[in-house]
């Protein structure tokens, strides 16, 4: 077990250097978003993603739809039939790949995955990015410490993600093939969980 952990740390260590570190005009229509912004600021949970404020009063899907950096993810979630599930009570922790992350995949991969006949495969890839529970940065660091440098997360897909520190503050995520995703934005609070923005798509076995 000790040898396996050392091998994992060595493999992940090679990738750490790649990571850096992410109209209606009625009174009611105007007041609602202003109230959301005020509550977010008071709670200290306001985070900008894709040029938009991610409101802790909205669920994972609602916030993702507002992010210009996550249009591919939203399209994939819709194609996989996961919208209702990710709007559920949760809580969920989502490692959300950006458009650029999907762009790293081989040409034609995304187009193939969103085809109706590949719905099951697409759902497996997406749920591999989702963990039951509310794992903010503090909780992730706690898992890493408990695991002596390598934390383990069971995904909704059924597979496991491994997490470890990259320097004193940053965290990286490793998939089944030991591919590394760097977290660029932490603790994007949702009404039904938390999102961490990642720069690569994670793949199950």
Over residues 137-150, mean pLDDT:
94
More confident residue, 169 or 178: 178
Q: What average pLDDT does the segment 49-69 reach?
A: 86
Domains and CATH numbers, the chain: 2-198 (2.30.180.10)
Reported as a pLDDT band with limits 50, 70 and 90, residue 97 is very high
Structure confidence at residue 54 (pLDDT): 81
- The secondary structure element, H or E, covering residue 123 is helix 119-127
* Torsion angle of the four alpha carbons 92, 154, 84, 191, in this order, in degrees rounded to the nearest 10: 0
pLDDT confidence of residue 46: 67
199 pLDDT band (50/70/90 cuts)? Answer: very high
Enumerate long-range contacts of 18-22, CB under 8 Å, 24 or more apart: 18/180, 18/182, 19/166, 19/170, 19/172, 19/180, 19/182, 19/199, 20/182, 20/184, 21/166, 21/170, 21/182, 21/183, 21/184, 22/49, 22/183, 22/184, 22/185, 22/197, 22/199
Please write the tens of the pLDDT for every residue from 61-70: 999 998 999 9
* Between 80 and 10, residue with greater pLDDT: 80
Query: What global pTM score does this model have?
Result: 0.79
Q: What pLDDT is recorded for position 114?
A: 94
Residue 111 has pLDDT above 90, yes or no: yes
Task: Report whether pLDDT(4) > 80.
Answer: no
pLDDT averaged over every residue in the chain: 82
In the predicted model, is pLDDT for residue 7 greater than 60? no
Say whether pLDDT at 112 is over 90: yes
Task: Calculate mean pLDDT across residues 43-48.
Answer: 60
Residue carrying structure tokens 């990571």: 19
Confidence check: pLDDT of 198 > 90 = yes
| Six-digit token string for 190 | 């949702």
Cβ neighbours of residue 110 closer than 8 Å, sequence gap 6 or more: 72, 76, 102
Judged against a pLDDT cut of 80, whether residue 11 lies above it is answered with no
Cis bond before residue 63 (omega within 30° of 0): no
Which percentage of the chain shows pLDDT scores above 70?
A: 77
What is d(CA 202, CA 18) in angstroms, rounded to the nearest whole number?
16
């Amino acid at each position: 077990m000790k040898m396996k952990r050392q091998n994992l740390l060595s493999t992940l260590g090679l990738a750490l250097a790649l990571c850096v570190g992410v109209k209606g005009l009625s009174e009611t229509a105007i007041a609602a978003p202003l109230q959301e912004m005020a509550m977010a600021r008071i709670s200290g949970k306001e985070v900008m993603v894709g040029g938009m404020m991610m409101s802790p009063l909205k669920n994972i899907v609602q916030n993702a739809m507002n992010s210009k950096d996550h249009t591919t993810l939203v399209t994939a979630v819709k194609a996989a039939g996961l919208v209702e599930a990710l709007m559920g009570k949760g809580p969920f922790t989502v490692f959300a790949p950006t458009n650029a992350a999907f762009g790293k995949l081989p040409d034609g991969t995304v187009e193939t995955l969103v085809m109706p006949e590949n719905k099951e495969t697409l759902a497996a890839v997406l749920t591999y990015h989702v963990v039951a529970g509310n794992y903010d940065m503090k909780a992730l660091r706690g898992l890493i410490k408990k695991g002596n440098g390598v934390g383990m997360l069971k995904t909704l897909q059924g597979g496991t993600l491994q997490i470890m520190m990259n320097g004193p503050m940053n965290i990286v995520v490793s998939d089944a093939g030991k591919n590394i995703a760097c977290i660029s934005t932490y603790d994007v609070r949702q009404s039904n969980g938390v999102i961490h923005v990642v720069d690569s798509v994670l793949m199950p076995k």
